């Protein structure tokens, strides 16, 4: 953890740009802050993160269906959901340079006082009493005003039909609840997931992928009978210890306490939350985030979202401090009830003879923040200018790269043949340009775990070398064994030294 705090994150941002992982959006025109694009390598990795999440969370036992809904929604939906009224942040404008800032963040940064959720009058008072000034020009700050975070647009050729870019993917699921129930005939508990883009007109976007205006979420809305005891699969995770930062600990500057899943049920507002929290902890560890860098923070009442009866958000320790990465909310029947009242449609479902309005437990994952954490915790450097990402093999953009040692004497053709043979079963890439050292460096920079090199010996005995990204060690193995060896390495069934004959 200490190493992570010391990482020069600018180095990571530089590689990410140079190697096609993340680009500033519309950069050639100067871009707008809070918008980033995934490059060719970033796109491959994002797909793998999402696939890994689907495999881990959207299991048939949990009956979690996936859907994809529109990103623009009519005003009625977001009025009913409470976003029009309550999805707000406090803003203050500098009287000198006119820059606009989030008032609560500014106070927290300059005084250390935690003020999220306080009303604007209070924030204005604190700014004046504590002498908080504009961080850009040192000027005086104006009164704090409330600012709605949704981005509005007009639909159709005639002005006046206001719609909003969705601030969360969840609403598309709630307004479809009747369709989902009717088409799947699913019985409670069941879930509906969505992976997609959400938009928030953040007052001051910053910290690279952390606070964006357009970002990507993976959300699960788990619909449950409010009388349900606990998720059927919960006991599978009874061995997991959850690091929970209680409200009392936060008030007293204390540390998280480790609670077993069983013990956590006493502090969580709903038992289904424990189930998802245990799985989140395991999944993020699989991505390479150490357990010590993960905690679940019980949000204080003034920062709990308007729709939630209690949030235990998963936070990760980043280079700049702790930050929420998964929102875990007990949304109760808040959303279905309001959409039922406002649309006039019956959104209950039948449980036996009884009509039930389901409650909702929601884990909401941010893809961009997950990506930031993955890059941060995978970044390595040897102190002599060699840098690489130790991505888990399943998340790396490619599992292996195939190289000819030199570009002559039939080696490129032989290497290409090997590459083509592997491509149908593995994510493999081929590179024949530049010296072999440069090719190793380039593949390390995008975290490819294994480089397969075809040399003169390959022409004689059909063996190749495999180089391990993490320590540059090499083994020699036969081309015929490559599929089995690579499969074993990817699954973690074999160690690298067992992948072939060690080389000096």
Write out 7-58 in H/E/C secondary structure.
Answer: CCHHHHHHHHHHCCCEEECCHHHCCCCCCEEECHHHHHHHHHHHHHHHHHHC
Q: Are 402 and 422 in contact (CB under 8 A)?
A: yes
CB of 48 to ligand GAP, least distance (A): 18
- Distance, CA of 499 to CA of 484 (rounded, Å): 9
Query: Of residues 327, 404, 449, 500, which one binds ligand GAP by CB under 6 A?
Result: 327
Query: Of residues 175, 193, 326, 399, which one binds ligand GAP by CB under 6 A?
Result: 326
First to last CA, the chain: 33
Q: Are 199 and 166 in contact (CB under 8 A)?
A: yes
Is 102 a residue that touches ligand GAP (CB under 6 A)? no
- CA pseudo-torsion sign 204, 209, 212, 218: negative
Number of chain positions touching ligand GAP (CB under 6 A): 18
Per CB under 6 A, which region of 9-17, 102-110, 233-241, 320-328 contacts ligand GAP? 320-328
CB of 276 to ligand GAP, least distance (A): 13
CB of 21 to ligand GAP, least distance (A): 17
Residue closer to ligand GAP, measured from CB, 327 or 500: 327
Is 211 a residue that touches ligand GAP (CB under 6 A)? yes
Angle between helices 103-111 and 120-129 (to 10 degrees): 30
Is 215 a residue that touches ligand GAP (CB under 6 A)? yes
Question: Nearest to ligand GAP by Cβ — which residue?
Answer: 366
Query: Of residues 115, 134, 203, 212, which one binds ligand GAP by CB under 6 A?
Result: 212
Three-state DSSP at 450 gives strand
CB of 245 to ligand GAP, least distance (A): 15
Chain center to CA of 36 = 14
Interacting residues with ligand GAP between 158 and 177 (CB under 6 A)? 168, 170
What is the token pair recorded at 158? 């005639």
Residues facing 154 on adjacent strands: 162
- CA pseudo-torsion sign 125, 126, 131, 134: negative
CB of 65 to ligand GAP, least distance (A): 17
Give the containing element (helix H, strand E) for 457. helix 456-461
Is 340 a residue that touches ligand GAP (CB under 6 A)? no
Query: Of residues 46, 83, 166, 200, which one binds ligand GAP by CB under 6 A?
Result: 200
Interacting residues with ligand GAP between 359 and 378 (CB under 6 A)? 362, 364, 366, 368-369
Q: Which residues bind ligand GAP (CB under 6 A)?
A: 168, 170, 200, 202, 211-212, 215, 217, 219, 324-327, 362, 364, 366, 368-369
């Amino acid at each position: 953890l200490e190493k992570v705090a010391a990482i020069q994150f600018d180095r990571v941002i530089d590689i990410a740009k140079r190697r096609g992982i993340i680009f500033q959006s519309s950069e050639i025109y100067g871009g707008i802050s809070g918008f980033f694009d995934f490059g060719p390598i970033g796109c491959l990795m994002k797909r793998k993160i999402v696939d890994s999440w689907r495999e881990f969370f959207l299991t048939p036992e949990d009956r979690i269906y996936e859907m994809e809904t529109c990103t623009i929604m009519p005003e009625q939906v977001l009025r009913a959901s409470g976003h029009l009224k309550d999805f707000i942040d406090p803003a203050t404008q500098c009287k000198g340079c006119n820059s606009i800032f989030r008032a609560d963040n500014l106070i927290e940064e300059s005084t250390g006082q935690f003020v999220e959720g306080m009303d604007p009058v209070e924030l204005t008072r604190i700014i004046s009493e504590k002498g908080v000034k504009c961080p850009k020009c040192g000027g005086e700050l104006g009164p704090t005003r409330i600012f709605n975070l949704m981005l509005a647009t007009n639909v159709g050729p005639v002005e006046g039909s206001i719609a909003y870019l969705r601030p969360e993917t969840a609403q598309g699921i709630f307004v479809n609840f009747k369709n989902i129930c009717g088409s799947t005939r699913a019985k409670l508990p069941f879930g509906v997931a969505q992976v997609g883009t959400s938009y928030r007109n953040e007052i001051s976007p910053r910290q690279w992928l952390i606070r964006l205006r357009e970002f990507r979420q993976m959300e699960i809305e788990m619909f449950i009978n409010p009388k349900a005891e606990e998720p059927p699969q919960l006991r599978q995770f009874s061995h997991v210890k959850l690091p929970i930062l209680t409200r009392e600990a936060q008030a007293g500057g204390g540390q998280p306490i480790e609670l077993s899943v069983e013990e956590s049920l006493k502090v969580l507002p709903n038992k289904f939350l424990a189930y998802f929290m245990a799985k989140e902890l395991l999944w993020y560890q699989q991505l390479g985030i150490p357990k010590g860098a993960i905690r679940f923070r019980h949000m204080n009442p003034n920062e709990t979202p308007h729709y939630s009866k209690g949030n235990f958000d998963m936070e990760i320790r980043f280079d700049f401090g702790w930050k929420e990465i998964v929102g875990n909310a007990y949304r109760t029947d808040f959303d279905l009830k309001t959409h039922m009242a406002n649309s006039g449609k019956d959104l209950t479902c039948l449980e036996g003879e009884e009509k039930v309005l389901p409650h909702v437990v929601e884990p909401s994952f941010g893809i961009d923040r997950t990506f930031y954490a993955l890059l941060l915790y995978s970044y390595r450097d040897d102190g002599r200018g060699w840098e690489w990402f130790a991505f888990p093999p399943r998340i790396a953009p490619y599992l292996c790269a195939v190289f000819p040692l030199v570009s002559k004497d039939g080696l490129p053709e032989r290497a290409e043949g090997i590459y083509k043979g592997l491509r149908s079963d593995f994510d493999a890439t081929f590179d024949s340009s530049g010296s072999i050292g440069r090719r190793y460096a380039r593949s390390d920079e995008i975290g490819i775990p294994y480089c397969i090199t075809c040399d003169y010996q390959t022409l004689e005995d059909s063996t190749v070398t495999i180089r391990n990204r993490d320590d540059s060690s090499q083994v020699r193995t036969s081309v015929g064994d490559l599929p089995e060896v690579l499969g074993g390495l990817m699954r973690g069934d074999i160690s690298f030294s067992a992948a072939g004959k060690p080389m000096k």
